[in-house]
Amino acid sequence: MLVHSVYFWLTDDISSKDRQMFKQKLEALKKVDSAEAVYVGTPAETDRPAIDRSYDYALTLIFKDIDAHDAYQTDPLHKDFLHSCSKFFDNVVIYDAK
């Protein structure tokens, strides 16, 4: 199994319309065939010193193996998300765990 966690910091000048499109494109990634599960969210209202809530959106995908992850990287839905939405975030951090 591979857990692919992606955290996005959106640009300060993003419009509400573009923010909505960004969320819709993230949600569309739930249809990626190679993913076992896909979760989209925003920071939870938890408050402990170790928690980072500075990001705007989180995306977590569960893959059965590295090959499924690699298939996701070239999936048309993923490519469309990157093409359409990369201009809306100025920072992204990815954590992959096996």
Provide the CATH number for the domain around residue 19.
Answer: 3.30.70.100
Domain that holds residue 16: 2-43+55-97
Q: How many domains does the chain have?
A: 1
**pLDDT at position 55, please?**
98
* Residue 86, domain member (yes or no): yes
Q: From CA 35, how far away is CA 31, in angstroms rounded?
A: 8
* Residue 32, domain member (yes or no): yes
Quick one: pLDDT band at residue 96, thresholds 50, 70, 90?
Answer: very high
* Residue 49, domain member (yes or no): no
> Which residue in the block uniquely carries the two structure tokens 């100025």?
90
Q: Quick one: which of 43, 24, 34 has its CA closest to 2?
A: 34
The model's pLDDT over 19-68, given as tens digits with 9 standing for 90+, comes to 999 999 999 999 999 999 999 999 999 999 999 999 999 999 999 999 99
Q: Quick one: which of 73, 69, 75 has its CA closest to 97?
A: 69
What single DSSP character describes residue 25? H
